[in-house]
Amino acid sequence: MGRWLASLACACIWPAWAAGAAGDAAGPAGVTPEESRAIATLGPWPPPRRRDPGNRVSGQPLAIELGRQLFRDPRMSAVSYIACVTCHQPDRAFTDSKARAHGMGDLPRNTPALANLSLQHWYGWGGGADSVWMASIRPILDSREFDGSGALVVRLFAREPELAACYRRVFGASPLVDPERTVINVGKALAAFVETLVTARTPFDEFRDAIVRGDARGAAAYPDAALRGLRLFVGRGGCIACHSGPNFSDGRFHAGTAPADGIAAAVERSLHDNGRLRDARDLLASRFNLRGAYNDDPSRRNAAATRGLRLDAAMAGRFRTPSLRNVAVTAPYFHDGRTDRLADAARHAGAPAAEPLRIGEVDDLAAFLSTLTDAHGARRPWNPAGLTDCR
Average pLDDT over residues 92-119: 92
Angle between helices 224-234 and 203-213 (to 10 degrees): 70
Assign residue 81 the CATH number of its domain: 1.10.760.10
Q: What angle do CA 98, 328, 341 make, to 5 degrees?
A: 60
Residue-level pLDDT at 3: 44
Residue-number span of the structural domain to which 153 is assigned: 61-194
The verdict on residue 224 lying in a domain is no
Q: Are 197 and 114 in contact (CB under 8 A)?
A: yes
- Which residues are CB-neighbours of 299 under 8 A, at least 6 positions away? 53
The verdict on residue 248 lying in a domain is no
Average pLDDT over residues 167-192: 98
The verdict on residue 38 lying in a domain is no
Residue-level pLDDT at 14: 34
The verdict on residue 357 lying in a domain is no
Report the C-alpha gap between 202 and 341 in whole angstroms. Answer: 20
Q: Is residue 232 very low, low, confident or very high in pLDDT (cuts 50, 70, 90)?
A: very high
Angle between helices 132-141 and 179-194 (to 10 degrees): 120
In this prediction, what percent of the chain has a pLDDT beyond 90? Answer: 76
Report the C-alpha gap between 380 and 67 in whole angstroms. Answer: 16
Residue 8 has pLDDT above 60, yes or no: no
The verdict on residue 155 lying in a domain is yes
Q: How many residues does the chain have?
A: 391
Question: How large is the C-alpha radius of gyration of the chain?
Answer: 22
Residue 388 has pLDDT above 80, yes or no: no
Report the C-alpha gap between 151 and 133 in whole angstroms. Answer: 19
Average pLDDT over residues 232-242: 93
**Of 179, 181, 133, the residue nearest 154 (C-alpha):** 179
Q: How many domains does the chain have?
A: 1
The verdict on residue 105 lying in a domain is yes
In this prediction, what percent of the chain has a pLDDT beyond 70? Answer: 85
The verdict on residue 146 lying in a domain is yes
Reported as a single tens digit per residue, the pLDDT across 34-43 is: 999 999 999 9
Residue 330 has pLDDT above 50, yes or no: yes
Report the C-alpha gap between 17 and 28 in whole angstroms. Answer: 19
Reported as a single tens digit per residue, the pLDDT across 266-279 is: 455 445 688 999 99
The verdict on residue 154 lying in a domain is yes
